[in-house]
Amino acid sequence: MKRRANATLIGAFVVGGLVLLAAAVIAVAGGKLFTRKERAVMHFGGSVYGLQVGAPVVFRGVRVGSVASISVFYDKAKDNFTIPVVAELERDAMRGLDGVRAGADEALPALVARGLRAQLSMQSLLTGQLYVDLDLRPDQPPAVRGAYRDAVEIPTAATAMQNLKSQLDGVDFRRLIDDVSAIAASARALVGGPQLKQALDDLQQITGSVKRLSARLEQRMVPLTDEAQGALSGARRAMDRVGGAADGVRDTARRFDKTADNAAALLAPDAPLVRNVQSAADELTRTAAALRQATADDSNLARNTERALQDVSRASRAVRELADLLERHPEALLRGRPTGAAPP
């Protein structure tokens, strides 16, 4: 007789398998299966080769979400293609980034206003996989498209390699090669031309002249050096003499200072010499006054002097008459005055 299956046991087995499957899914999802997401879109202008769906979105080393989709968008107005990358950001991870612990729908626009930019960075040099790097870069100009309305747009900024590639794309290498070829041809013509040979010959002659001049200068430098040493020795001796003279001048100055001090002491108002000179000056003043008084016209001295002068005048006139008489009559000394002679 065939044994019947136990429905209860089968049901319990199925329920247990479903529970294990759900636990495995939750474990594989890392506990993020029921995490609320915030959609954000980033428009990249260059190639995103190496960026895959599920690639991490990182803010300063902290994973805040992952790439949800990658597509291509054609802009008719600008006639170019962009790569919209839609990312799902975790609300819990984004909460509080604006400094007030607000939700992601409020924190993300605040960060964008402060300069939040998205760039592509390399995960591994071996695999070439990329990830989205979010950071505050207010000094870099943003690239905004505004094509999505159900997601917050995060402006993108070109990487250093993309900027270098853009600069290299703008370089006309063909023209650069032509310019280099022209410069090389001109250099070959200059090297092979007669002008360079003539310049080298002139340079060789100039070098020879410089060598001869150096030799002459070297021959004359020894006497000049000796003369310079002699001049320095003479200058040194002169400086010594000047130093000695300066010492003498200092001694003289000290002596002059002492003499000046002594003169100042002698010429002081209360010094004995000044008092004696003042007394002599007073005596001289009194003598001059007495002399003026004695020599006045109405003074006795003047009258006596006048009478004496008159007497002297009469005496001299009598002497002259006597001399005339003796000259005419010498015998008058023995006989007396002759008769008829005029009296003196």
Phi, psi of 155 (to 5 degrees): -60, 150
The label of the residue with tokens 């200072």 reads: 257
- Residue 136: both structure tokens together: 């505050």
- Residue 238: both structure tokens together: 């002169």
**Residue 151 DSSP label:** S
CB-based burial of residue 42 (10 Å sphere; 0-12 exposed, 13-18 middle, 19+ buried)?
Answer: buried
Q: Which pLDDT score, from 0 to 100, does residue 25 have? A: 66
Nearest Cα neighbor of 82 from 46, 54, 53 is 46
C-alpha angle with apex 293: 291 to 295, nearest 5 degrees? Answer: 70
How many residues are recorded in the chain?
A: 344
Within 10 angstroms of residue 109's Cβ, the number of other Cβ atoms is 15
Q: Which pLDDT score, from 0 to 100, does residue 1 have? A: 47
Q: Is 45:143 a contact under the CB 8 Å cutoff?
A: yes
- Residue 59: both structure tokens together: 């803010």
Q: Which residues fall within 8 angstroms of residue 111, CB to CB, at 6 or more apart? A: 97, 98, 136
Q: Which pLDDT score, from 0 to 100, does residue 187 have? A: 78
Rg (CA), the chain: 68
Residue 119's beta-bridge partner residues?
133
Helix, strand, coil tally for the chain in percent (to 5)? 55, 15, 30
The rounded distance, in Å, linking the Cα atoms of 292 and 283 is: 14
Q: Which pLDDT score, from 0 to 100, does residue 56 have? A: 92
The residue type at 154 = I
The residue type at 293 = Q
The rounded distance, in Å, linking the Cα atoms of 119 and 134 is: 7
Q: Is 132:58 a contact under the CB 8 Å cutoff?
A: yes
Crossing angle for the helix pair 194-266 and 173-192, to the nearest 10 degrees: 90
Q: Which pLDDT score, from 0 to 100, does residue 220 have? A: 72
Q: Which pLDDT score, from 0 to 100, does residue 123 have? A: 84
Q: Torsion angle of alpha carbons 281, 282, 288, 290, nearest 10°?
A: -160
Tell me if residue 80 falls in helix, strand or coil.
strand
Tell me if residue 324 falls in helix, strand or coil.
helix
The rounded distance, in Å, linking the Cα atoms of 94 and 36 is: 11
| Successive 10-residue mean pLDDT values, the chain, 344 residues | 63 78 66 65 85 90 88 81 87 64 63 85 84 85 64 80 65 77 78 75 82 78 75 80 77 78 72 74 78 70 77 80 75 65 54
Q: Which pLDDT score, from 0 to 100, does residue 146 have? A: 60
